[in-house]
Amino acid sequence: MRISETAFEMVGFSHWHATLAVFGSILGSLVDIPIIHISSYPQWYSSFAGLISSQPSAHFHPFILAVNLGGCIIPLAISAHLLARRQVSPGKSLLGMAVVAAITYNAAQAIPGVGIVLPVWLSPLLAAIMGLLLAGGFHHAPPLAYISGTLGTLIGADLMSLVTPGILPALSPLNLHRQAPLVLSIGGAGVFDGIFLTGIIAVLLAAGIVCLIRGGCRGVR
């Protein structure tokens, strides 16, 4: 638990902020907030999908689209807090997010009844690299890694995948014998293999490399 708190402290949070962020994310990972019930593609989407894909949109089992408190809303709030305090450049953050989003989108796999899955090491490694390459100084590497890793993965692996033609039928195959709709949660893979873990590992990777380069971790905050 202390490792997680240390990661948040490295991106500029106080001890109490870090503690609240860690416990809030862990408990929040159990909370999915429903947004909309979806039973079919809207007409505009079917027309759009027909223009970019040779495969027509298939039917899928009705599902409830939700957002995960710990894996989506809290990382969004933390990233907004870091940007509002001007600890990182918005332009560099967007670039880092775009790179991570593009790669995670291509690496994401749709597992029926489970959701979108990624190799655990991919997003944290990409985020740490983006933080170190784009920060322009070691001081800003950890927060830039956090934003790039969490939001880039959220956009690329979750949001972009969900609007890709054919993904919804793969995630929620049509099942005439099932009555209840499935729940697909944005950022809801869980704490230890989801967006939260990506942010923690990304920050620790970036900060650890900075410590190795400097020969110590003094001043890396």
Tokens standing for residue 80: 């907004």
Kindly report each contact of residues 89-96 with a partner whose C-beta sits within 8 Å and lies 24 or more positions away, as own/partner: 89/136, 89/140, 89/144, 92/134, 92/135, 92/136, 92/144, 93/144, 93/147, 93/148, 93/151, 95/130, 95/134, 96/127, 96/130, 96/131, 96/134, 96/144, 96/145, 96/147, 96/148, 96/152
List beta partners, residue 175.
Answer: none
pLDDT in tens, 61-77: 788 889 999 889 998 99
Amino acid sitting at position 128 = A
pLDDT in tens, 122-169: 888 898 899 889 987 777 888 898 899 999 999 999 899 888 877 887
pLDDT in tens, 161-191: 888 877 887 777 766 566 677 788 888 864 4
Print burial letters for 161-180: b (CB count within 10 Å at least 16), e (below 16): bbeebebbbbbbeeeeeeee
26 CB burial (10 A radius; 0-12, 13-18, 19+):
middle
The reported pLDDT for the residue numbered 30 is 86
